[in-house]
Amino acid sequence: MAYKRHVDRLPIIPADAKKHNVTCHYCIVGCGYHAYTWPVNKQGGTEAAANAFGVNLAEQQPAETAAWYAPSMYNIVKQDGKDVHIVIKPDADCEVNSGLGSVRGARMGELRFSTARGSQLQRLTDPMVWRYGQMQPTSWDDALDLVARVTAAVIKEQGEDGLFVSVFDHGGSAGGYENTWGTGKFYFGSMKVKNIRIHNRPAYNSEVHATRDMGVGELNNCYEDAELADTLVSVGNNPLETQTNYFLNHWVPNLRGTSIQKKQEQLPDEPHANGRIIFVDPRRTVSVNAAEAETGKDNVMHLAINSGTDMVLFNAWLTEIADKGWVDKAFIDASTKDFDKALAANRTTVEQAAEITGLTVEQIRQSAAWIAEPKEGKRRRTMFAYEKGLIWGNDNYRTNAALVNVALATGNVGREGGGCVRMGGHQEGYVRPSDAHVGRPAAYVDKLLIEGKGGVHHIWACDHYKTTLNAHQFNMVYKKRTDIVKDAMNAVPYGDGASMVKAITDAIHAGGLFSVDVDIIPSKIGAASHVWLPAAESGEMNLTSMNGERRMRLVERYMDPPGNAKPDCLIAAGLAQHMEKVLREMGDNAYADQFKGYDWKTEEDAFMDGYNKNAGGGEHVTYERLRAMGNNGFQEPAIGFEDGKIVGTKRLYTDGKFGTKDGKATFMEAQWRGLQAPGKEEQKKNNKYLINNGRANQVWQNAFLDQESEFVMDRWPFPFIEMSPDDMTELGVKNGDLVEVFNESGSTQAMVYPTPTARKGETFMLFGFPTGVQGNVINAGTNELILPNYKQTWANIRKISDAPEGVRHLSFKSQEYMAG
Amino acid sequence: MDRCNRLVDVGRRQFLRGSAFAAATAVALPTMPAKAAPSLALVEYPSNKLANVANLKPNEPFDVTYPDGDAPGVLLKLGTKVEGGAGPDGDIVGFSTICPHKGFPLNFNADDRTLNCPGHYSRFDCEAGGQQIWGQSTANLPQYALRVDDKGDIYAEGLDELLYGRLSNVL
């Protein structure tokens, strides 16, 4: 039977409950929520005056009511040391989500740390160190002292290049401006660390180098543009599952035609109709299905290209649009350069493109017309949205450029109903000192670690074991190297600090690696670490981030962090202070002085030191002002403070000036060169099945919290692999059978999910899941800028076992909505 | 029970000690605090007759309400025995038909025996205890606890999840 909570009533929020601003800390959309808290021995009542909604709760509430919350939104947490009830429910007045909660965000309440209700007891409550053969609790001073002593010793011997770092660069959970600044000041201010990588890629680099090199920042429009566009172009992107409420609240109204009035009001001098949509994706997703349900199949094109051939399609679009005379010549002349050069270099006929992409000539021509053919003499407004299918796909730099070329050629950047944007995973929240010293290409950190480089590894909310490429080999080597240090530590009494540091550094000389994991839970890679430092999450600290339309909000602290956990920025500060102390003891005062300037008492101090002083427009932004801006916040960059409000920027580049030296956006050459990353062609030749991969609706990121959600783990005890019925027959597997996915790079497991819409030989596996790591079969090949290609992966598949007991009750029906 | 009794005893001893002290000092006992109204730990669900087995045809939804007229639902005779199924063939199930995500009415799709939400495309499997196949609800679909008596009358006597739009399943 499906998991049920057997909750048949919930405590009512009293009228005088405290109400905190909350932005969902999961995906980039950043939906507005409120956290209501009240003492554990109190409750509201059903009478209107006795509850927070002012309505009679003894009556059934209607659809879309704000006066209801699900059991998943409720918990009992600690606030200032006392138990309080908490309800974290969507905010109907937030422009982003208008009261919608996704299956991820609407479970924030249930996934809070609660000793009273036993939820998320996996959270780390104390610093932990390897002692007597296992992880044991200790004090902050003890743990930070050990980390600083080993780190300083390694740097003294190897220089700062001996310190390897894996660190988040995003907003929301495990990130935010406070924490990117705290960590950034430490590694890029006090030090100039080069061997550093980001949570989802093996180097410290942009996911979208090309668009930035062209002068077009990748988050350049606003969510309302999706309501205003004539045509939406969605590339390698499944917005219903991964940016759910952006899709539901801003794309669907356009597809349904309910945003027409808004179009007519804002853009009165042109004809308007329901939005059309083009999906470029080898896989049919639920987003395609939902779009068809809303606007009819006639207004939806699903271009199911051969995996990895996106660039050829975009170049054919550019060629076709230019040849038809549908380009925005005035815009090209005034605001761009190198159009003719790029057009000539990228010239691709629709016939050539059809050959490579597997589409028909007609599909390519028709999609180009939907993008650019003028509507009764007026320029068509087209919004381009791309995500990991492009970013983590074949020849990603050039493919990104090829798409931005089309957006620029059609004048669709900086205009209403336009934009050429990364859809995004996490929220953003980046403010750090310059990373220029990292260089380009940046160091391939995973590769260097596998090769035995580095003596100490600091990890901040990253879990390579689950989320990197070439994960199988990485995990094996990492375990071996960290075990050398563990064995050495086992041989020394813990209390003998000097001997302990010597044992560790000796082990490092012997090829070992000392690993420090800053996280909220014991992660998979943390199993190899020697020190765990417990971090606080959003809501356990005040935290600022921005969403995919650069909307910045403050999440107000509504509960205590578990035990002794702290905000990452304050952990970084503590580490810096211990580094200063240890270096002074070593007699290196000059180096020790570099670790001054961390006397922050609160996360707000880190915010003022970081964002307020360093972000563009940061001087206009304070906690107090953000609090007053509520869940709608403002859109970055801030350009002023007037009438008690921060003045933001709705769209970038509305003046036609771009982010290049001369202000002109630059068209870029992007020529097709097949499967670009080393090893991909060979892997494709040697293995039978495409193992496309990505996210699932119910799961946030690598399931770090969801792995303790009964609701999620009941649905997905193992990662699914979507497979065509023909492939299932050929492999002799049934619904829910466990299969091994294997190739030259490694092996992993998944659960068969029958998918009639899947093409034969093309599977899709859930990425980054704890009970089966897809990254194990992704080879090490990257592009020249060390951007990984996760998507184009081929492997063989064989049956491991029939569906295990925990799988038999699952539904294996189509995930596509069907009208009754 | 033993443990409970001991706790009661401890409380009584504490009380006696206090009163002895009060008597010795000739101070009047304080008034007893107001007595809280007794309440039950579980919501008391009505046992409502929703239909007779003879009313149900295989794979045809039979509209009902439970636990009251404001809570629409459906009875289904699936034709194949399922876990939690009631009736002589173990194939009768009942579900709320209000989507637990945002409260839109669900539509039954007879082809694959699912309930589908036109609001945000969530789908629930009637043959798998209302498991959400895909969707935005943070709960699987509330299912009825059914009892079928000798006459074939089908009674609903409980729910296993909170219904949308009410903070108590029984208002």
* Alpha-carbon distance B100 to nearest alpha carbon in chain A (angstroms): 8
Choose the closest CB to A2 out of B118, B140, B170: B140
**pLDDT value at A156 more than 90:** yes
> Which region, left, alpha or beta, applies to residue A807 given φ > 0 means left and ψ of -120 to 50 means alpha?
alpha
Residue A150: phi, psi to the nearest 5? Answer: -70, -40
User: A817 vs B159: CB contact, 8 Å cut-off?
Assistant: no
Token pair in block for residue B135: 């969707």
What confidence tens digit (pLDDT) does each residue in B23-80 have?
344 445 556 666 777 778 889 999 999 999 999 999 999 999 999 999 999 999 999 9
A100 at B interface, C-beta within 8 A: yes
A2 in B contact zone (CB under 8 Å): yes
B86 interaction partners in chain A (CB closer than 8 Å):
none
The pLDDT tens digits of the residues spanning B143-171 come to 999 999 999 999 999 999 999 999 999 99
Kindly list the residues from chain B whose CB atom is less than 8 angstroms away from the CB atom of residue A286. 121, 134
Q: Is 50 exceeded by the pLDDT of residue B135?
A: yes
Give the tens place of pLDDT for each residue, A776-785.
Answer: 999 999 999 9
Could you tell me where the beta strands, DSSP code E, fall in A388-455?
420-422
Q: Which residue of chain B is at minimal alpha-carbon distance from A696?
A: B134
Q: What is the pLDDT of residue B35?
A: 72
Task: Judge: B109–A819 Cβ closer than 8 Å, yes or no.
Answer: yes
Residue numbers in B near A816 (CB within 8 A): 123, 134
The residues of B carrying an active-site annotation are 101, 120
What are the domain boundaries of chain A?
Answer: 18-111, 128-207+429-612, 220-422, 680-807
Q: Which residue of A has its CA nearest to B162?
A: A8
Which of 2.60.40.10, 3.40.50.300, 3.10.20.30, 3.40.50.740 is the CATH number of A128-207+429-612?
3.40.50.740
Whether chain A has a CB inside 8 Å of the CB on B18: the answer is no
Cβ–Cβ < 8 Å for A779, A469: yes
- A3 in contact with B, Cβ within 8 Å: yes
Q: Which of A63, A70, A73 sits opposite B104 (nearest CB)?
A: A63
Query: What does pLDDT average to over chain A?
Result: 97
Contact B121 A293 (CB under 8 A): yes
Q: Which residues contact A523 (CB under 8 A, 6 or more apart)?
A: A463, A465, A466, A517, A704
Give yes or no for B147 touching A (CB within 8 A): no
Name the DSSP letter for residue A117. Answer: T
Minimal CA separation from B146 to chain A, in Å: 15
- Judged by CB atoms closer than 8 Å, whether chains meet at B112 and A818 is answered as yes
Which of A68, A72, A817 is nearest residue B165 as measured by Cβ atoms? A68
State the Cα–Cα distance between residues A314 and A309, nearest whole angstrom. Answer: 9
**A6 reaches B (C-beta below 8 A):** yes
CB contacts < 8 A (A, B): 171
Assembly ipTM:
0.96
Using CB atoms, pick whichever of A58, A815, A816 lies closest to residue B171.
A58
CA A207 to CA A274: how far, in whole Å? 32
**Contact call for A70 and B100, based on CB within 8 A:** yes
Q: What is the pTM of this model?
A: 0.95
Q: Are residues B129 and A106, on separate chains, in Cβ contact within 8 Å?
A: no
pLDDT surpassing 60 at residue A3: yes
Question: pLDDT digit string (tens) for B85-126?
Answer: 999 999 999 999 999 999 999 999 999 999 999 999 999 999
pLDDT at B6: 39
Shortest CA gap A66–chain B (Å) = 9
Q: What does chain B come to in residues?
A: 171
Check A244 against B171: CB less than 8 A apart: no
- Residues across chain A: 820
CATH, range B48-159: 2.102.10.10
Residues of chain B neighbouring A9 (CB-CB closer than 8 A): 43, 162, 167-169
Q: Choose the weakest-confidence range: A2-6, A706-710, B34-38.
A: B34-38
Chain A neighbors of B123, CB-CB under 8 A = 813, 815-818
Contact B133 A815 (CB under 8 A): yes
β-strand partners of A531: A129, A516
Residue A711 contacts B where some CB pair is shorter than 8 Å: yes
B43/A103 Cβ within 8 A: no
Give A58→chain B minimum CA distance, Å: 5
- Interface residue of B167, B169, B170, B171 to substitute, partner A, most A CBs within 10 Å: B167
For A244, the closest of B71, B112, B136 (CB atoms) is B136
Displacement of CA B4 from its chain's centroid (Å): 28
User: Is B114 in Cβ contact with A70 (below 8 Å)?
Assistant: no
Class of domain A680-807: mainly beta
B58 lies within 8 A of chain A by CB: no
* CA angle A99–A105–A109, rounded 5-degree value: 100
In chain B, DSSP assigns E strands to 48-52, 62-65, 72-77, 92-96, 107-109, 114-116, 123-125, 131-134, 144-148, 153-159
Which tokens go with A372? Answer: 């650019």
Q: pLDDT-based confidence at A674, cuts 50/70/90?
A: very high
- Residues A144 and A773: their CA atoms lie apart, in Å, by 32
pLDDT reading at A698 higher than 90: yes
pLDDT number for residue B21: 38
pLDDT digits (tens, 9 = 90+) for A171-193: 998 899 999 999 999 999 999 99
Closest Cβ–Cβ partner in A2, A59, A103 for B131: A2
Q: Give me the residues of B, 82-121, that contact A with CB < 8 A.
A: 83-84, 98, 100-104, 107-109, 111-112, 114, 116-121
Whether A42 and chain B come into contact, CB under 8 Å, resolves to no
What local confidence, expressed as pLDDT, does residue A820 receive? 65
pLDDT at B4: 39
Nearest by CB: A103 against B137, B160, B164:
B137
DSSP-derived pairing of the beta strands A634-635 and A18-23: unpaired
Q: List pLDDT tens digits, range A638-659.
A: 999 999 999 999 999 999 999 9
The distance of A254 to chain B (nearest Cα, Å) reads 15
Higher pLDDT, B29 or A74: A74
Instruction: Name the class of domain A18-111.
Output: mainly beta
Interface residue of B74, B121, B124, B164 to substitute, partner A, most A CBs within 10 Å = B121
Q: Which of A62, A72, A286 sits opposite B139 (nearest CB)?
A: A72
Chain segment A108-123, per-residue pLDDT in tens: 999 999 999 999 999 9
Q: Based on the number of CB atoms within 10 Å of its own CB, is A229 exposed (0-12), middle (13-18) or buried (19 or more)?
A: buried
| Domain ranges within chain B, ordered by starting residue | 48-159
List the single residue in B with minimal CA-CA distance to A289.
B121
Contact list in A for residue B137 (CB cut-off 8 A) is 70, 103
From the list B107, B134, B159, which residue is nearest A820 (CB)?
Answer: B107
Return d(Cα A710, Cα A285) in angstroms, integer. Answer: 25
Q: Which of A148, A71, A779, A591 is nearest to B164 (CA)?
A: A71
Average pLDDT, chain B: 85
* Chain A, window 676-705: residues with a beta carbon less than 8 angstroms from a chain B beta carbon: 697
Task: Name every residue whose Cβ is closer than 8 Å to that of residue A529 and which is 6 or more positions away in sequence.
Answer: A130, A459, A482, A515, A516, A517
Q: Which CATH architecture has domain A220-422?
A: 3-Layer(aba) Sandwich (3.40)
Residues of B in contact with A62 (CB under 8 A): 103, 165
- Alpha carbons A110 and A541: distance in angstroms, whole number: 18
Residue of B nearest to A294 (CA): B118
